[in-house]
Amino acid sequence: MNGEFDLNYFREKILKMNKQDFADLMEIDVITLEMWEGDPDNLTMRIYKEIAEKTDYTLEQLFNFKEHVPLPWKLDNKITEKREKVLKKVLENEQSFEEALLEIEQKELEEGFEINVAEVKGYFEELKKIGPLCSNRLRKPLVAFIGASDAGKSSLINVILGTDLLPMAFQPMTAAINYVYHELDKPENIGDENNTVVVRTNHEQLVDISNLENIIETGEHVIAIGRTNLIREYGLNKYNEEINEENNQGLTYIFTFIDAPILTGLAFIDTPGISANEKDNQTALKAYQYADVTIYLSQMSSFLREEDMIFIKQIIDSSSREFDQDGRVPFNNLLFVGSHADSVGNSDISEIFNRAVARFLNVQTSTYFAKFGPTYNQETFRKRFYASDIKDPRLSQPFKQAFIAMMENILSVKIRQSRLVQKKAIEEMIKTGKKIEEHLTARINFPATKESLKKYKFQQIEEELLRLSNTKKEVSIRDFHNAYAKIFTINSIEGLIKKKEFKNNQEDKKKILLLLQNMVDEKLQAILKENSDDFSSKMDGSIKKFNDFFNSENFDFTNFFIKSSTDVATSLGIYGAFSILFGSLGNLGGYLLFMQTAGFLSSVGLYGGTVSGTATAISAIGGPLTLGLALIIFSGLVVFNIFGDGWMRKYAKQLVKQFEKLGVEQKYSMEIIRYWDDTAKITAEAIKKVEEEYAQHQKETAQIIQAEIPFLRDLVQLVESVKVAEDEKIL
């Protein structure tokens, strides 16, 4: 069955029947028929067979009656062509620069020269990363579609693409992470006749377009290569349920490359439906974490259920603000869509959105939006809500315009950012090269420190920082316990219910649960932020003290510690309180970290250069509370029916017992322990790496250093030579 079944089209255009006549034929009521037509996910295989039998059609015929596919959406050609033009120039200059670096290296090797000095070797390796750093900023933005299994994510993507690429029938359909790219993005080793690749790995390994070609080359994780029929074969729940019986940690990625106009400027990620099961929740979460833009869908008839609110809060909290233009365009990479909008009256749509926003804010703390900045508020949040309906383009038109405008704006921001990265990187690498030469010149005639004193100093700082980390862990647990105890008293919960004017009904009782959970979450974040700031500030003082000692030998302990900690955090995928340090590296610091280019570019002053306790953590790291924990707690709570007077106090007592029974405080405390244990692990590993760097530093004799200074100067001169025509020439 190659097609998709549209019951409304089949009834009106093929059978020429009104709703009542068709309902009579099927022996159902009109309400049931409207439910079937409003959401294809309500149609089971049994219903399809009954329709085929009673209308004298075969199943194969049913699935080949298709409504006219709307025209695909398009971005402004000027924007997409500009990105392609700039990217082409970037890649050309990147190749030229790499060739120039190779030529300098080859020249030295021919003269019997080897790079032995750690600072020179590190500088040389970091120069190789400047080009990819700029081209990565110009990669196509990834748009993730998130929502429940009945939200219509695949259907909306198909409308935008102007194709029936993604499966939409039955429920729930998508169980893999589906990447959809333009056919020109296809890796060459897929083959001319093929356009789809299926890859399966564990949850820890990231698979994206950047490493797909290498994965195909090795063949280690490749399940199949072929045409788009592989999406239906490997992307549905049936396949993944069978596979998961053998390997519950597996994750299926499907990459498809097609010719669709809008894909010239972006790429899509279709995700499994949330709240269907824990595995699909985690898969969807992993998908959106690597996206630049999130489109959250919820059926208009039941817009923003409690589970939706948990996901939306997580998405807002962890979304990058890099496209918000310093808050001038709040939430500029988020849109919230009410799907199947024809199920409600057009005049009701605005009111549904208003009520949804009010419900969402009613279960948040009063200062929730304020932490993002003064322009983040209820009004700007409400402006991100739109209706969509695949059968009525008129209802979808405002969303279409908003989506296209947002993506064109994001492409423009990416182009500007690539220029900024190139300009800043070149300027700082020139400064760094000259600074390294000053260090090396000063070291040539400098005596070494006694070995015993060096060893003692490294042990001393490691013990000092680990002691500080352990103290902050104890303080965080104590502060959280006290805060939790204040929230979960019967009087405080009863007062909260009265203040919010919650009623004695199921919906309001669920809101109470969400509000309490969000209050605990916000308090946890505040406690960790406060203690992390203090940890970072005290660490700054400790590092500065030790840096003064090592400066006498021209060893920059501070920068080597920053470099080592970013390397360790990136390789281990943990951050802890070091998220404050990485946040202090500037707006692009997080990007550098996640693209694994942390090194000299992040350690020599490009995005800071000293440890600062004043900056906020990188937004992409988010808080220590995982989405899985939030959902587990919420799903484990029960809404009790309580009747009569005094229901508020009775319900408050039940809630205190429930949260205690679920061990909520203990679960959050475990997150605090993990957070500070991660901090301690990064600290210990970073100090170890700095000590190794220092050992290499001590081996570098005056003769070795003197021999490498000319090579260093050649590198600096090369970087200086590309600092021209910055508006046109991007490295």
**What digits encode the pLDDT tens for the residues 678-693?**
999 999 999 999 888 8
Q: Is the pLDDT of residue 588 over 70?
A: no
- Cβ atoms of 458 and 464 within 8 Å: the answer is no
Percent of the chain at pLDDT > 70 equals 80
- Record the pTM: 0.79
With a cut of 50, say whether residue 369 has pLDDT above it: yes
Residue 484: helix, strand or coil by DSSP? helix
Helix (H) or strand (E) holding 297: strand 293-299
- What residues contact 609, with CB distance under 8 A and at least 6 apart? 558, 559, 562, 603
In this structure, the dihedral spanned by the alpha carbons of residues 216, 217, 222 and 224, taken in order and rounded to 10 degrees, is 70
| pLDDT tens per residue across span 685-731 | 999 998 888 888 877 878 888 888 889 999 998 888 876 544 445 44
Task: Output the pLDDT for position 293.
Answer: 92
Provide the 8-state DSSP code for 222: E
pLDDT digits (tens, 9 = 90+) for 637-651: 665 566 556 889 988
Please tell me the predicted confidence (pLDDT) of residue 680: 94
pLDDT band at 170 (very low <50, low <70, confident <90, very high): very low
Of residues 261 and 283, which shows the higher confidence score? 261
Scanning the structure block, which residue is given the tokens 């300027």? 427
Residue 534 has pLDDT above 60, yes or no: yes
* Averaged pLDDT, 528-547: 86
**Distance separating alpha carbons of residues 492 and 500, to the nearest angstrom:** 12
Q: Which of 116-120, 453-457, 540-544, 591-595 has the lowest mean pLDDT?
A: 591-595
CB 91 within 8 A of CB 135: yes
Amino acid residing at 203? H
Q: Rounded distance, CA 255 to CA 263, Å?
A: 13
Identify the pLDDT of residue 145.
92
- Going by the DSSP 8-state scheme, the letter that residue 14 receives in this structure is I
pLDDT on residue 628: 52
Tokens of 712: 């260093």
Mean pLDDT of 232-242: 62
Distance CA 472, CA 530 (A): 10
Q: Is the dihedral of CA 32, 35, 37, 39 positive or negative?
A: negative
For residue 661, pLDDT beyond 90 = no
pLDDT of residue 583: 58
Residue 636 has pLDDT above 80, yes or no: no
| Angle subtended at Cα 254 by Cα 251 and Cα 259, rounded to the nearest 5 degrees | 165
- Residue 621, CA distances (Å) to 350, 538, 591, 626 in order: 34, 22, 11, 11
User: DSSP code of 253?
Assistant: E
pLDDT of 232: 78
